């Protein structure tokens, strides 16, 4: 089964205030409004399944099922290149199962931060 990530679908369509900011081979990054909150979308695989165990040929496995995952990141401190201070971010929601779940976590954080 193909993941949404592998289909290269822009999940921001239909979500007001959410924009696809960057697309790479490993992940898609969405921004939430004009805030410092981003959603990182990627695909992962579950554990492999042992199909056959053979002492001569070795073990035969089937790759685990692929699934989409969403992480919500918040920029805590902006980088200051003039003073050599790096930026600082933290993950506030890891391995969300759906894009809507990640958006809900992002908006919940933004409403608490105000």
CB contact set of 114 (below 8 Å; sequence gap of 6+): none
Structural domain includes residue 1 = no
In a domain, 2, yes or no: no
Residue 7 lies in a domain: no
Q: In this structure, is the dihedral angle defined by the CA atoms of residues 70, 39, 99 and 103, taken in order, positive or negative?
A: positive
Question: What is the per-residue pLDDT for 1?
Answer: 62
Residues contacting 36, CB < 8 A, separation 6+: 74, 75, 78
Query: Would you say residue 13 lies in a domain?
Result: no
Per the domain annotation, does 88 fall within a domain? Answer: yes
Q: Is residue 8 part of a domain?
A: no
Domain count of the fold of the chain: 1
In a domain, 24, yes or no: yes
What is the domain extent for residue 44?
18-113
Residue 84 has pLDDT above 80, yes or no: no
> Cα angle at 44 between 38 and 79, to 5 degrees?
30
30, part of any domain: yes
Which pLDDT value is given to residue 91?
95
- Binned at pLDDT 50, 70 and 90, residue 24 comes out as very high
């Amino acid at each position: 089964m193909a993941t949404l990530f592998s289909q290269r679908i822009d999940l921001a369509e239909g979500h007001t205030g959410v924009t696809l900011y960057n697309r790479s081979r490993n992940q898609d990054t969405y921004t939430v409004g004009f805030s410092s909150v981003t959603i990182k979308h990627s695909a992962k695989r579950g554990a492999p399944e042992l199909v056959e165990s053979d002492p001569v040929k070795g073990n035969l496995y089937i790759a685990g099922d692929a699934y989409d995952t969403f992480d919500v990141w918040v920029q805590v401190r902006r980088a200051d290149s003039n003073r050599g201070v790096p930026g600082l971010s933290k993950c506030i929601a890891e391995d969300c199962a759906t894009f809507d779940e990640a958006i809900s976590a992002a908006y919940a954080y933004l409403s608490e931060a105000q």
